[in-house]
Amino acid sequence: MGDRQGKGLPASDVYVWETNDTHTFEKVGVIHPAGGSFTFTFDPESLYSLTKTTGQGKGNAMPPPVRGFPLPYGDNFDQIALNHSPKYLADQDGAFEARACAGRSGRCLEQVISAKPIPWGPLPDPFTMAGDTAWADYSVAADIRFLSTSPAVLLGRIDSADVFQDDKARWPSGYVFLISPDGSWRLFSAKFKQPPVDLGNGLVRLDCTQWHHAELRFHGTRIEGLLDGNSLISVDDSSHAHGMFALGTEWEQTQFDNLSVFAY
């Protein structure tokens, strides 16, 4: 490539920076214009920056060492700014934000989207997740408060949240413990492109205007679901051996508080 410098431009050196499969913003040459023009041979499939300034360089900041997600982990959401998301939880659908708690002081985590979007791809029910894919034996627990007809859901041993594997997926691949405001509950295993496998279901007396405490435990092949300290189900299943945790609901408001995850 050749270039003729316009009138008034200083005949100074031109520095060439390149980005491609083998270089990331690296200085690869210095051009010395002669007679107000220069030539340079560019590589294919590369991006270039040509400049007469100096002092540029790539950043040299190093990321911290890799380490696992902390266990135990907990959050009462009181330190989260209103209408903001917690530090570690990652919304996969819906929007989980800190809001004033219903029926108690402090702040809680609330799913705030009440109109189901029109999807351009898979649209699972709202859930927000965190944790470590290597976690196996642990408990995830939270206080739950119903603000609508949507359920409160605890999920664990999520071994894949790539819902694009299944355009009809409602949940990630893992165990799902679902409690509805009418007291009905269900524990099932979800896998992409397979129907959910029910592990148990039932009905308990429940005041949906009050806070309740739900917990989902994993130890080996044993999975246990509890509500207000009472075991609703304890069953063996080996569909999911390890994975992350999540809180979930459907497309109306539900609140969570005092999230706690610990080795079990």
- Two tokens at 254? 């539900």
In a domain, 82, yes or no: yes
pTM (two decimals) = 0.78
Residues 115 and 47 in one domain: no
The residue ranges of the chain whose pLDDT is under 50 are: 8-9
How confident is the model over 151-193, as pLDDT tens digits? 999 999 999 999 889 988 899 999 999 999 999 999 999 999 9
Whole-angstrom CA distances from 217 to 71, 183, 199, 223, 231 are: 14, 20, 14, 6, 10
Whole-number Å distance between alpha carbons of 11 and 197: 74
Residues 251 and 193 in one domain: yes
Sequence-ordered list of residues with C-beta below 8 angstroms from that of 207, at least 6 positions apart, any chain: none
Which pLDDT score is estimated for 8? 43
In a domain, 66, yes or no: no
Whole-number Å distance between alpha carbons of 131 and 262: 11
Residues 115 and 31 in one domain: no
Token pair 């809180």: residue: 247
Residues 126 and 175 in one domain: yes
Sequence-ordered list of residues with C-beta below 8 angstroms from that of 25, at least 6 positions apart, any chain: 17, 18, 19, 49, 58
Residues 128 and 210 in one domain: yes
Domain count, the chain: 2
In a domain, 61, yes or no: no
In a domain, 56, yes or no: no
Domain that holds residue 27: 2-6+10-51
Residues 19 and 126 in one domain: no
Phi-psi region of 95 (alpha: psi -120 to 50; beta: other; left: phi over 0): beta
CA-closest candidate to residue 199, choices 218, 186, 214: 186
**Domain holding 179: CATH number?**
2.60.120.560
Residues 152 and 237 in one domain: yes
In a domain, 169, yes or no: yes
Residues 158 and 252 in one domain: yes
Token pair 């490539």: residue: 1
Residues 105 and 189 in one domain: yes
Residues 153 and 225 in one domain: yes
What is the average pLDDT score of the chain?
Answer: 91
Whole-number Å distance between alpha carbons of 225 and 214: 8
Residues 123 and 47 in one domain: no
Residues 27 and 100 in one domain: no
For 165, list phi and psi in degrees, rounded to 5: -70, -20
